[in-house]
A and B are shown apart, each in its own frame.
Chain A
Amino acid sequence: MSCCTPPTIDLPITSRVAGEIRTVALVGPPNSGKTTLFNRLTGMRQKVANYPGVTVEQKIGHLGGIGRRDLAVIDLPGIYSFDSYSEDARVAVDVLKGNMPGTPVPDAVLLVLDSLHLTRQLMLAAPILSLGLPTLILLNMTDLMEQRGGSVDPLKLAQELGAPVAQISATKGRGLQAINVFLNRHSAVTPFQLPVIGNAASTRQWAVQVSSKTGYKAPLSAATSLKIDRILLHRIWGPLLFTLVVIGVFQAVFSIGQPMSDGFGVLLTTLGSHIRPWIPNALLQSLLIDGVWKGVQSVLVFLPQILLLFLFIGVLEDSGYLARAALIADRVMRSIGLNGKAFIPLLSAYACAVPAIMATRTIENKRDRFATILIAPFMTCSARLPIYMLIIAAFIPNRPVLGQFFGLRACVMLSLYLLGFLAALMTARLLKSSVLKSSVTPFILELPQYRWPTLGSLGLRLYDRARVFLYQAGTIILSVTIVIWVLGHLPMHGGTFPQLADSAIGKLGQWIEPAIQPLGFNWKIGIGLLTSVLARETIVGTLGTLYGADSATQSLTLQAAMRQDIHLGGAIALIVFFAFAMQCTSTMAVVRRETNSWKWPALQFAYMFVLAYAGAFVANQIISRFF
């Protein structure tokens, strides 16, 4: 399942009148709330989460949120300084210095600083102000600072820095009118003189001086985060709770999600049978109901379960727990030669590999970054859920394993996730000890304060995911089902349609069948494997159409039809195949973009295919022998 592409907005390229502001850049240290502010200013909905490094490339929008649709605003990845340490930081520095092709130098800068840690954050003010661009300094999280007893004199700060300062709260939308005032004022700027350029220690000294002159009183650090960590990072409770959280999520996807999906499925089937009489032509009925509707519907039913999984991942990301999980997992990551930081992109790959691969830009070491990109598609993304759910619901009995809390179905599901994870670890180990060998890079991770996930942010994630899912179902899967239905009705003999097995699609399937027979797959699965190269969930739509078009299984549900058609060994082999195989054109495209070569995605595809084939073969042989 690919992720939404950001809307393209043209940046003005003609030369500007002096003093006129047309593009504004949003700059600040990581996790200072730039993206929250960006969403406020533009009315757009970029992903916000509670860990450093959510934004890894520049994002562009219009300042519609404050009534200035004529201005473009660029959201940049967070940076600590201009010494570009990682890929994402380099993007920000390149844009600011005008070295980014296609992006003009911004006409003004909004520098977002977290008031809670103003002294440290001020270190970024020096290089930004020395750019000589009109700059407004926004002291964010003012509400939290006041709550915790911190204070600063913004007027004094403005004097010290020679730039206007405003206190805002991006989450609450407070103080944003200052941005309008700033943008309407066309004043010349005097370039700022840096104390000593490039030296962290002297910049720091300067920042300390400035903050003490402005009467900055740092707020008390949140005692709650420390208390929570005392349990969540506890020697015993920490890993135990981590495991419980993971198991709990899977069980919930089944015990809460399955009834929801089943109900949704019944609703969709009923809807289909109500539409059928309204379609005049029998052939059209067959195409629309047995072909398209059955195909698309068989994928759509999994929407509730996917949304539920996203809700859980969203809560973990927004609360700040993800960074703690990275800390707990650092030991494991170290054993495979990777950095604990790689764990964060890998965790987000459980939703979708595409943003995860982009998030690897926060990994400083290039070889580590490539290794992480190459193993990310092994993490069980949500596009695998439909086929997993279908096979598990059809073939695995609903039996308790650890009491009522953990059932056999959730257990099989968890094993599939573990299988993908182990394959990722093994592959990383292999890569890091051969082609991508490098010296150990330091693990430096900032642990954010815990925050309550906001309903707005969670709702937004679910909305975005639902939209992408429905879009995919309405485009790729819809087209594939139509093509399959048509090929299933050709060639005609004397005005009658062929049996499915004698049709063009049947012939194609039977032609590849010998290659997949050792895995326990029949020709219908073979066609499903072919179409799923576009996107993994397409196989479910394809199978829905094929079994719907076959007169022998037309009246059955997809689950029942599959139970009749393939044995347990083939079914398990199929989900093992999907655990390993790289079937996602969007992922391959993003790997090619991030590694700048077709070599890596091609290698990755071949490697994952071989692993998938071997894994499915072994699974089928073992299970067919014992069951």
Chain B
Amino acid sequence: MHKCKLNVLSELKVGHTAIVSKLNLPAAVQYHLMHMGIMPEASVLALRRAPAGDPTVYAVDGIEIALRRETAQSILLHTPALLVKEAG
């Protein structure tokens, strides 16, 4: 466990988990994401990057969701984020 000052989802390293604080996205997109489970206080794990390095697959609430970097960088994380290294 270590502290880190990165605070947007796109910067979350693969294998790390963080807590979402805020979504800075257009209302429609925001609702859509929230209904899929990406919302304030949700814990998100960066699972893997697509072969081209983008989009990234995130695990939240038992499902896997792929997001492009430009979307993920508008999703803010709690700072200082407690980044927990997951096994594997």
Interface residues of A (CB under 8 A from B): 80-81, 83, 85, 116-117, 119-120, 123-124, 200-201, 204, 218-219, 221, 225-226, 229-230, 233-236, 238-239, 327-328, 330-331, 334, 340, 364, 440, 442-447
The answer to whether B34 touches A447 (Cβ under 8 A) is no
The answer to whether A442 touches B64 (Cβ under 8 A) is no
Give the dominant DSSP class at B's interface.
mixed
The answer to whether A445 touches B39 (Cβ under 8 A) is no
**A-B pairs with lowest CB-CB distance, top 7:** A200-B34, A80-B35, A331-B52, A447-B64, A442-B71, A238-B51, A445-B66
The answer to whether B62 touches A331 (Cβ under 8 A) is no
The answer to whether A327 touches B66 (Cβ under 8 A) is yes
CA distance A47 to B57 in the complex (A): 27
The answer to whether residues A221 and B54 also contact, given A83-B31, A445-B66 and a CB cut-off of 8 A, is: no
The answer to whether A443 touches B55 (Cβ under 8 A) is yes
CA distance A337 to B32 in the complex (A): 22
CA distance A219 to B61 in the complex (A): 11
Minimum distance in angstroms from A217 CB to a CB of chain B: 12
CA distance A83 to B40 in the complex (A): 19
The answer to whether B51 touches A233 (Cβ under 8 A) is yes
Number of A-B contacts (CB under 8 A): 111
The answer to whether residues A120 and B66 also contact, given A201-B34, A331-B50, A442-B71 and a CB cut-off of 8 A, is: no
Q: Can you list 29 pairs linking A and B with CB atoms under 8 Å apart?
A: A85-B28, A117-B62, A120-B35, A120-B61, A123-B35, A124-B35, A201-B39, A204-B34, A218-B62, A219-B62, A225-B64, A229-B57, A230-B48, A233-B51, A239-B51, A327-B55, A328-B52, A330-B50, A330-B52, A330-B66, A331-B52, A334-B68, A440-B70, A442-B25, A442-B67, A442-B68, A443-B66, A444-B66, A446-B36
The answer to whether B63 touches A117 (Cβ under 8 A) is yes
- Chain B residues positioned under 8 Å from A83 (CB to CB): 28, 31-32, 35
- Chain B residues positioned under 8 Å from A364 (CB to CB): 28
CA distance A204 to B31 in the complex (A): 11
CA distance A234 to B57 in the complex (A): 12
The answer to whether B62 touches A221 (Cβ under 8 A) is yes
The answer to whether B66 touches A447 (Cβ under 8 A) is yes
The answer to whether B61 touches A447 (Cβ under 8 A) is no
Tally of contact residues, B, Cβ under 8 A: 34
The answer to whether B36 touches A200 (Cβ under 8 A) is no
CA distance A331 to B37 in the complex (A): 25
CA distance A175 to B67 in the complex (A): 37
The answer to whether A444 touches B36 (Cβ under 8 A) is yes
Minimum distance in angstroms from B47 CB to a CB of chain A: 8
CA distance A561 to B68 in the complex (A): 54
CA distance A235 to B59 in the complex (A): 19
The answer to whether A327 touches B71 (Cβ under 8 A) is no
- Chain B residues positioned under 8 Å from A446 (CB to CB): 36, 63-66
The answer to whether A444 touches B32 (Cβ under 8 A) is yes
- Chain A residues positioned under 8 Å from B64 (CB to CB): 225, 446-447
CA distance A376 to B50 in the complex (A): 24
